[in-house]
Structure 1
Amino acid sequence: MIQLRLVLLLLFLVFPQLQGVEAATPETLGNVSSSITSSFTSLARLITAISYIGGLAFTIVAIMKFKQHKDNPTQVPIGQAISQVCIAVVLLFLPSLLGYIGGTLFGSDARTSGPTGQIYCSDTSAVYSADSCGK
């Protein structure tokens, strides 16, 4: 019984529409799609932030592993510290590296559609809302 009450409480907290609270704007397909689009933008920023934070965390752990290896080389192999440094480098440079990799693989005319429908061109840092890429 307690579990059922807890599940219902969580449902009402996550979905306030179930309580009968009406939204200020009517739910149309356009409103729903713009809400989803804005949540994708937030999700992309969240993934970027997690990448940076994870890279910093792996950097700190790698420094600690290097010190542990210096203090007791038989118990802590150097490979652990080196692998954590590699993971830290990948996570720290992943957000900026994706644009360069796209330009390398697909040329300077590579275009990526962002979560809001805007076009990101690999040859410039400008953002365009059409398929022109500044041409």
Structure 2
Amino acid sequence: MKMPLKVKRRLERLLTWVACFSLMAVAGEVAASTSLGTMASSITSSFTSVAKLITAGSYLAGLGFSIGAIMKFKQHKDNPTQIQIGTPIALVFIAAALLFLPSILGVAGQTMFGTSGSVAGPSGTIFGS
């Protein structure tokens, strides 16, 4: 179903205004910082939040995939001709990979860089300690 032309134009104008106000807010934050160093440090301080968000998302997605795998195993048990066994097995492997992703990244950091493999984020936030 197509949108009427008036509604489409109004939506475009609304999105343009939202983009302009967002750009003004970002420009205000940049102008509020007194130097390039303070702006860089404020950006760097947000990286720890991003690292925690990725870790939490990985755990939640892993739990979701594990529940989905259990449900697929049940569906395969009830009707083996419709649900192939490879589907729940693949979901189990995906769930395991997502659940162990933070640990794997710590070990990979230790392997590649040799020191501080359990440190995540730019400020040295240690997860699990």
TM-score class, shorter: 0.7 to 0.9
Q: Is the 8 A contact 2:48 2:122 kept in 1?
A: yes
Change (3 A) 1:54 1:22: closer
- Aligned counterpart, 2:43: 36
TM-score when normalising by structure 1: 0.70
Amino acid at match of 1:9: W
TM-score when normalising by structure 2: 0.73
Amino acid at match of 1:110: T
The counterpart of 1:79, out of the listed 79, 86, 90, is: 86
Task: Please state how far the C-alpha of 1:12 moved relative to its aligned partner.
Answer: 4.1
Per-residue CA deviation, residues 80-131 of structure 1 (Å, 9 max, x unaligned), is 001100100110111122212333x348x424675435497xxxx88xxxxx
In the alignment, the residues of structure 1 paired with residue 89 and residue 30 of structure 2 have an alpha-carbon distance, to the nearest angstrom, of: 53
1:110 correspondence with 2:115: yes
Q: Aligned residue pairs: how many?
A: 119
* RMSD of Structure 2 on Structure 1 (CA): 3.1
- Aligned counterpart, 2:71: 64
In the alignment, the residues of structure 1 paired with residue 54 and residue 69 of structure 2 have an alpha-carbon distance, to the nearest angstrom, of: 22
In the alignment, the residues of structure 1 paired with residue 80 and residue 99 of structure 2 have an alpha-carbon distance, to the nearest angstrom, of: 28
Q: Is the 8 A contact 1:111 1:119 kept in 2?
A: no
Change (3 A) 1:13 1:53: farther
Identity in percent: 46
Larger relative contact order (Cα-Cα within 8 Å, sequence gap ≥ 6): 2
SS of 2:80's equivalent?
A: coil
- Aligned counterpart, 1:7: 15
Change (3 A) 1:21 1:96: closer
In the alignment, the residues of structure 1 paired with residue 66 and residue 120 of structure 2 have an alpha-carbon distance, to the nearest angstrom, of: 30
In the alignment, the residues of structure 1 paired with residue 34 and residue 53 of structure 2 have an alpha-carbon distance, to the nearest angstrom, of: 26
- Aligned counterpart, 2:104: 97
SS of 1:98's equivalent?
A: helix
Structure with greater proportional helix content: 2
Q: Provide structure 2 residue ranges, at least 5 long, that are not aligned to the other structure.
A: 1-8
In the alignment, the residues of structure 2 paired with residue 8 and residue 60 of structure 1 have an alpha-carbon distance, to the nearest angstrom, of: 41
Amino acid at match of 1:71: D
Change (3 A) 1:114 1:33: farther
